[in-house]
Structure 1
Amino acid sequence: MKIGRTLCAFLVFAVMVAAGPAWSLCGDPTGDGYVRATDALAALTLAVTGGYDGRADVAAADGRVTATDALKILYGAVRGVIPECALAEQRAFVTLAACDFITGGLASVDLASRSVIRWRAGGLAADSVIRRAAGRLFAIGRFGADTIAEIDPQTLDTIWECSVGPGTNPHDFVLVAPDKAYVSRYDSALLAVVDPSVGPSCSGFLRATVDLSSLADADGFPEMDQMALVGSRLFVALQRLDRNDFFRPAANGALAVVDTTTDELAGVVELAIDNPFAETKGLTVDPDTGMLYAGGPGRLFTDLGDGGIEVVDPQTMASRGVIVSGSDLGGDLVDFALAGSGRVLAIVTDAAFAASVVDVDLATRSVTRVLMHSDTLIADVELSERGELWVSDRNCSRPGLRAFSIADGSELTSDPIYPGLTPFSLLLGD
């Protein structure tokens, strides 16, 4: 009986931390990234059958889908408006890094009012990114910090901070149970298994490692980066760069597959693209199709036509091919947010590293709109369920967060929102 209760609790927790509907768009129950008449029809079908999809709950956000929701979606489709819905998040968390990259920090932003709730300088290393899992907020202190920290999402105070090994340069964190998480370590061939329940003592924090050296190139480092949990399989992006040749790709990219029940390497998915690093919130999982999306620039600066976004089937552990290339995008892909199976918003750079934020239709493999252009660094883009694309603009003469409507491409911020220091990475969610 005790085993049954334990298993039940674990399964509930697994549902909480498994890949969820990130980048779902209000009013888009068909999941293609656009609000169309077909979405109204899908909502009406849900209303008739008694089904539920948070993306279709737009009228009252009351936990039901009714004919009124379908009518509101149809109105949005006709007028080119993305409606509010039950699943829309309320806050953004922003890691901060001064323009000299010495001082770091963290801020929280109210998405509805587009205003800073609070910010703290100095609490995080400048090269930090954040993750949200099971109601908890974690900070990954990357190059030079080599730590994982838990942050109070209300006060932004650090609850605990533990090392993952000096010089290991952690890049991603995936929670699989209250006492178990995985940390990809860029400057190591060993994937770390950690216990985030140990608290401030950090005693026993590093539980085990998974050796990925067999998948590395000749320099011995696979350059493990972003991850995603699908069922009991952990997918880990490998860049496989040559450290003896200015970190140029030594081979094609790959996804290592780790069995989280045994902590053993279970396989590898060889990718067509090189250098898959174009995400800052883990590998993207499409909530409707279950497919994984891996993206990257390929060879930076020297070949603007390679790289792109590749789709992987996590069940068969096989690539389904590149769905949009650097040639289609017009440059090097450095970050993207999935709006649905038919649409992404992306940061694309040219040979001089000037950046553009573009709206991409995957069906036609074409850029449909340029939302902004900058000769300086655009660090991150994230899409809210409200259909607002949030951009971390590191233009040091006028830094801040900018928001754009993906319905018509208009900028919603008259001036960049300054969160206390220059913004670095974004995470949307309560």
Structure 2
Amino acid sequence: MKKFLTLTAASALALYMTACSDNSTSADDDPLKPGSVYVFGSDYKTGELRWVSEDGVSEDSKEFNQDSKIVGVDGNLFVLERYGADNLALVDVSNKKVTWQKDMGDGANPSDVVKANKDEVWVALEGAAKFVKVSVKDGEVVKTVKTDGFNQGKASTPNLVDFEISGDTLFALFQRSENYAYPVPGLLALYKLSNGDLLDTIKLAKKNPMAMGFAKGKLYIASQGEYNASYGTDADDKRGIEVVDFDKKKTSVVVDGEKLGGGVYAFAVDPEGVAFAAIYKGFGDVPVVKVNLSEKSVKKVSDIADAEGSLYFDDVDGVLYVGDRGAKGGLFKYDEGKVTKIDAPKDMLPVYNITIVR
């Protein structure tokens, strides 16, 4: 096992301070910024990219692999074609054409993209024991950071599922599964944003973490935990939302699965101190709850049945976007306590995930 760097209490506190300093009715009359909201649809056979204007979701679409994730970074739109394709593509938002498309390697399963600098991005790979820095101009890999030291048991990858950045630090979230099980809790690793040098690691309290986000200078991590016999998740204390204490190098649970109603499938954070969690009770049964992180209170968001289509919080406009894959689903926005369905073509595929490009 690789020997990892450790931090003194003073340096850990300094790192923490650096992190602190620096996603039903018909459409209403509050117009969306043309082209800023993008939605990916999938029926598990085909996939399509569409975009949102003042009139709703576009009639036009762009085809991609059915298992794809879209991420907006610094004015750029990236399409992460996952299992069955394993590509990273850059889409020109001015004409919706692919600028370049690069193979990340068989089974690489790209999972997230964040800004490294004005010319490069870091790309997380869930299916490979590494992550890479890529040139925005041409998609070429300019640096590789190995993560095989985090592999659990005989697993070939530590399952990197999410990136966050704050100040000069890159935060990486690892699930650490083995043979489709989660024998140990997840792991948070901290890297130097500029070059990928490992700074520290922090063991999580819960298993199978899904996503993370910053609110009021604190990093919150949401975990789904292990599946039950029915392939759902139980409302118990084996999963939940935890917060990172960088000084003590540990986490503590804010709200557990018993209070949430199950494990967290998707997670979006309002920097002002509110989180939204899609709770995976079972296939097709994924409600959304609103969590006040300081008060540790949980309130269900009405009119959402199956939020397997992801959550995205727009911290500029203060709006939550929800992809509901249920029979009466579609693309929704939640604003000031009201859920509104955005107009969309009848042939649009069920929402798979959402992003915003600015």
Shorter-normalised TM range: 0.7 to 0.9
Judge conservation of contact 1:164–1:192 (CA < 8 Å) in 2.
Answer: no
Deviations 1:131-181 (A, max 9, x none): 222221111111121111111113221111111112211111122124432
Deviates more, 1:131-140 or 1:232-241: 131-140
Deviates more, 1:338-347 or 1:410-419: 410-419
Change (3 A) 1:299 1:429: same
Change (3 A) 1:257 1:393: same
Q: Is 2:338 the partner of 1:410? A: yes
For residues 26-425 of structure 1, what are the structure 2 equivalents within 5 Å?
Answer: 91-97=36-42, 99=43, 101-110=44-53, 113=54, 115-117=56-58, 119-122=60-63, 124-197=64-137, 199=138, 205-220=140-155, 221-243=157-179, 247-277=180-210, 279=211, 283-286=212-215, 289-300=216-227, 301=232, 303-305=234-236, 306-313=238-245, 316=247, 318-351=249-282, 354-374=285-305, 376=306, 378-384=308-314, 385-395=316-326, 397-405=327-335, 407=336, 409-413=337-341, 420-425=348-353
Cα deviation for residue 416 of structure 1 reads: 6.6
* Contact 1:173/1:184, CA 8 A, preserved across alignment: yes
C-alpha separation between the residues in 2 aligned to 1:119 and 1:420? Answer: 10
**Shift, 1:185, TM fit:** 1.3
Residues 5-59 of structure 1: per-residue CA shift (max 9 Å, x gap): xxxxxxxxxxxxx9999x6xxxxxxxxxxxxxxxxxxxxxxxxxxxxxxxxxxxx
Q: TM-score, normalised by structure 1?
A: 0.68
- Structure 2: tracts of 5 or more residues without a match: 1-17, 24-29
SS in 1 for 2:259: helix
Identity of aligned residues (%): 26
Instruction: For 1:348, give the aligned amino acid.
Output: I
Greater relative CO, 1 or 2 (CA 8 Å, sep 6+): 2
The structure carrying a bigger strand percent of its residues is: 2
Greater helix fraction, Structure 1 or Structure 2: 1
**Deviation (angstroms), 1:429:** 4.1
Distance in 2 (alpha carbons) for counterparts of 1:357 and 1:325 = 15
TM-score when scaled to structure 2? 0.81
Say if 2:264 and 2:278, in contact at 8 Å, map to a contact too.
Answer: yes
Per-residue CA deviations over 1:360-407 (Å, capped at 9, x if unaligned) read: 233342322332342x56321223444443221122x444212333x2
Task: Check the 8 A contact 1:105/1:119 in 2, yes or no.
Answer: no
* Post-superposition offset of 1:225: 1.0
The RMSD of aligned alpha carbons is 3.0
1:378 is paired with a residue of what secondary structure? helix
- Please give the alpha-carbon distance, in whole angstroms, between the structure 2 residues aligned to 1:196 and 1:133: 10
